[in-house]
Amino acid sequence: MAALTKNQSKGLSEAEVLNQCTAYLTARGIYHWRQNTGAFKVENRFIRTGMKGVSDILGVLPGGRLLAIEVKREKGGKLSAAQKEFIDAINSRNGCAIVVHSLAELIERLERFF
């Protein structure tokens, strides 16, 4: 049996999982959008775009609950402190904030809310 390459040992990348999740949400008719965040340098200062820790995908579930999905690579993805804080804030306010490492995990976790 051949040895696993570095990429194979980590499973699907975060981008691959994210693309599968957004395709599934579209197919289910769940309103959602990709929430990009980051920072860039202008002259001698950094400009932050988006709120630190906000989830990768935001949306609205049928019935009006806020949906926040933090996507991690299939194997080994970890939450930052800011991401955990954001997820906790959404869940404590009756939203639905989840962390997923695969499409199967997204499907399983969303079924609780239908």
Question: What is 38-49 written as a DSSP string?
Answer: EEEEETTEEEEE
User: What mean pLDDT is predicted for residues 65-85?
Assistant: 94
Give the pLDDT score at 1: 43
Angle of CA points 30, 35, 39, to nearest 5°: 175
Give the pLDDT score at 2: 46
Share of the chain above pLDDT 90, in %: 70
Identity at 113, one-letter amino acid code: F
User: What mean pLDDT is predicted for residues 69-81?
Assistant: 92
The string of pLDDT tens digits covering residues 87-98 is 999 999 999 999
pTM: 0.85
Which of 55, 95, 52 is closest to 77 using CA atoms? 55
Confidence of residue 40 (pLDDT cuts 50, 70, 90): confident
Confidence of residue 8 (pLDDT cuts 50, 70, 90): low
The string of pLDDT tens digits covering residues 14-29 is 999 999 999 999 999 9
- Residue 57 near residue 21, CB atoms below 8 Å: yes
